[in-house]
Amino acid sequence: MGVLCALLALGLGVVLTGAYNIEVRDGDGWRSLAQRQRTRRLHVTPKRGTIYDRHNTPLAVSVEVPSVSVDAVELLRGIQEEYISMRVQQYATRIAEALHLPVEVVAKKLARHRRFAWLKRRVTTEEVASVRALQNRRQRYPVRGLMIEGEGRRFYPHRSLASSLLGFVAPDGMGKEGIELALDTQLRGRPEEIRGLRDRAGRLIFAEGIQDEAALAGHNVVLTIDQGIQFIAERELEAAVRTHEARSGSIVIVDPSTGEILAMANAPNYNPNDYNVSSAQQRRNRANIDSFEPGSTFKVFAMATALAAKSVRPTDTIYCEEGRMPIDNVVIHDTHPSKWLNPTQIIQISSNIGIAKISLGLGGQKLYDGLRRFGFGTATALPLPGRVAGTLRPRGRPWVPVETAAAAFGQGVSVTNVQLTMALAALANKGRLLEPIIVKKITDSTGIVLHEASPKVRRRVVSPRIARLVAEMMSSVTEGEGTGIEAAIPGFRVAGKTATAQKIDPATGRYNDTHYVASFMGFVPAARPRLAVSVVIDEPMAGTTAGGTVAGPVFRRVVEMSLRYLGVRPRGTRTMNLTKLAKTPKELKGTNAAARLTEPVPVAAYTGRGGVRVPKLQGQAVRSAVQALVEAGLIPVVRGSGRLARTEPPTGTRVARGSKVTLVFEPQT
């Protein structure tokens, strides 16, 4: 009995010693191991925030799509070592067939024997059904360890609309290019970690819960872009680039009173839903990152600077050397040779010699300072990647006379389309230069506003009187003998400026006679501007390269449709009832005012009774043909540019007053 009690005491001592070692001395280590074995940590990736236009129309949204992963440990649990390789091959064959994957790829992932591995991400509905069939326990050998998990994917419902501005999201959830990259931190939100218990198969059976509900979604971004105006700009720009066989193009549309960018269109563009089939050139936001020599559009800002400095007066006349003026070691030429021109005529017919003489009288330093005040030579404050400042002056030295003259008509300097449009908007906004705004506001997932933009004046560049004076000069460009009559819009005064800038040949360092940048910028209406627009077409090759002929019609069509979209009526219009289009003003009296809509149609279309014949207008320019059609009581619809080739319906056809007549213009050969 003594020996037995001694043995029992010794055994009890061993047990107590082991218990002491486990519970007390090594207790922390064992508890940590147990915690790791029975709990599972999950990193919850928040749902990426939505990007909206100014009217809360979704431009980029995140949707849940199924993806398939595998737990190879659970899949091969209970299989003897000598049979594992055979079973791996069998399972890999079945899984590969269900997911349309190579058998070798699946077998390699299973052979690693890991708790988690992606098999295929973003699978189809048919593939999900095939995976569920593999998991069916009623069959002899169900495939264990397969998991179908919801995974966020970025979707762009309007496909290529504003694609170069928005950017795209890579499979790892990181924003690439555009707004998706610039505001990636805000859109992604903050990942959250949760803990839960798991069973012997590793499945999560209980979660502690998410501490911060805001982690479930990133912030939402509301842009200043208007989907309707953006669509108009992209459609017309793509048509122009295709028609003129151009290399690329861009359009920027700004509300001059606030600095909000209503549209930023680029061509070519791409579909961010399938970004992997696009090239880097297609994804470039050319309006913001491509710099170019502006050409004659710069004359407007040089003229405004000279008028503000009082180095020239509106009534002065400048001798323009009959189209040829040598300076230093170069000769400046004019497309329209002239003798004496006043400042308005210099802008109207775009005289290089006239603006060069004005700038030389102003002085290189004052011209440089004035252009800097318009924002040239400094990058804009837009929250977009790849911003450039452009080039305004050779580093380290002032302009020599020939450089001063060349800078006045846009040579030897470079700008971006955004810079050009904001400087134009400053003239439209009574001389006040505003910060461009592309992000209207940012809200969290609950709708609380975290940031909201408001108009910010950078500085006053010229006085309101000078801004109005320059606007009048720009209005002459689209009237009479101006270079931009193709940009004229019936019922509105257009303040604009054309440019046809030669490009430098990189091989020779000299200006090329075959490659140009055609552009047109302007604001409408000239007296109370609603839109400031800049159109740039790079290397138009088909037919003509003139800015007034290539970019002017694009400006006209974009602005005309945008103003109609915004409900801005041209001069000489009235409120009418569209359901009684054919009736006279007398018959319209007494109709329900609530049923009337605003339609920008000439008053002449509703005067008198009976039909009219389509007048013979073949061979006329756009402005004269449109005016004649309006006077006849018909509504003109303009297509193309150049001279009138035909009308639809044909000339002589009798139609009712107020009918639409399409004017088809074609370039002269």
Residue 257 a catalytic site member: no
**Residue 167 host element (H or E):** none
Residue 550 backbone phi and psi in degrees, to 5: -90, -55
d(CA 627, CA 652): 17
Contact 587, 506 (CB under 8 A): no
Category of 378 on φ-ψ map: left (φ > 0), alpha (ψ -120 to 50) or beta:
beta
d(CA 283, CA 385): 12
Burial (Cβ within 10 Å: 0-12, 13-18, ≥19) of residue 602? buried
Taking each helix axis from N to C terminus, what angle separates 364-373 and 298-309, rounded to the nearest 10 degrees?
Answer: 110
In this structure, which amino acid lies at residue 398? P
b/e map of 557-583 (b: 16 or more CB within 10 Å)?
A: bbbbbbbeeeebbbeeeeebbeeebeb
d(CA 319, CA 360): 13
Q: Which of 296, 350, 351, 562 is catalytic?
A: 296
User: If you search the block for the tokens 């990942």, which residue do you land on?
Assistant: 191
Category of 294 on φ-ψ map: left (φ > 0), alpha (ψ -120 to 50) or beta:
alpha
Contact 52, 225 (CB under 8 A): no
Contact 270, 283 (CB under 8 A): yes
Residue 160 DSSP one-character state: T
Active-site residue set: 296
